[in-house]
Amino acid sequence: CLDQDGKVHEFDSTWRTEDCDDCSCSRGGIGCCANYMRPVDYDEEKCESIFNKETCSYKVVEKDDHSKECPVHSWVG
């Protein structure tokens, strides 16, 4: 399989992209999906979500003070 970056992957192999997608190669082609949950139900006026590519996760913090986390009521993935 040839991925979007032009790298060749063997059949039945798996890998994680730098954008935190888990991909696999089969004889039918490449399949990829996000391996993280995205926050969708929080106070967007007061808070913002920040994605960490090293941990492949979001943190929701106050816009004015990133040391204070905000409650998240719903996540999708």
Polymer length of the chain: 77
The candidate with the shortest Cα–Cα distance to 67, out of 75, 56, 77, 59, is: 59
Tens digits of residue pLDDT in 6-55: 999 999 999 999 899 999 999 999 999 998 999 999 999 999 999 999 99
What the block records as the tokens of 62 is 């106050």
pTM: 0.73
Domains of the chain: 1-35 (2.10.70.10), 38-76 (2.20.25.590)
- Please give the distance of CA 54 from its chain centroid, rounded to a whole number: 10
Taking the C-alpha atoms of residue 24 and residue 71, their distance in angstroms, rounded to an integer, is 34
The candidate with the shortest Cα–Cα distance to 48, out of 65, 73, 24, 29, is: 65
Whether residue 77 has pLDDT greater than 90: no
Tens digits of residue pLDDT in 55-72: 999 999 999 999 999 999
